[in-house]
Copies of this chain bind each other. A is one copy, B any other.
């Protein structure tokens, strides 16, 4: 009951001069494999092969190719945040003082080091950045807010949206 393994083989140039397209021609079976692995990657390769109606070696070859190509970025365990003591989620909108490349670069470098920071994105609109941060409770968030967020470089304003209820949080999207 273990995840599918990858023997990092070196088969750079494909058999038939693969396309320059980053996503290389996903057929129906590849998509079925990806859908399954997005839901549960802990199934054995033989079970996966049966599900997509393929022989085990052929299935394994496809999975390896999908990992090699970078389409599968990795296989990871998802931890329940609450059970792990990070049950609070906060979404933060950030406005910087100045809109210079240096200012952005400096902020981004520091933002990634904020403990519990799950996401950080440059956005259009009234904010420069949106960040999502996981922390234990409101006390620990207040501490984080006072000791770290307010001292992020070049920050003019921080607006916090505390998450009251997580309706949906998924890592998989339609293929």
Contact = CB atoms under 8 A, between A and B. Distances in A.
Contact of A123 (B38, B123, B164): B164
A119 B127 CA distance: 19
Contacts of A81: 173
A161 to B, nearest CB: 4
B127 A161 contact: yes
B85 A117 contact: no
Given A70-B83, A130-B161, A77 B75 contact: yes
Interface string A100-132: 000000001001100111111111110101100
B78 A168 contact: no
A69 B125 CA distance: 42
Given A42-B41, A121-B167, A162-B124, A83 B173 contact: no
Closest 7 CB pairs of A and B: A37-B77, A42-B75, A123-B161, A122-B165, A120-B167, A120-B168, A121-B163
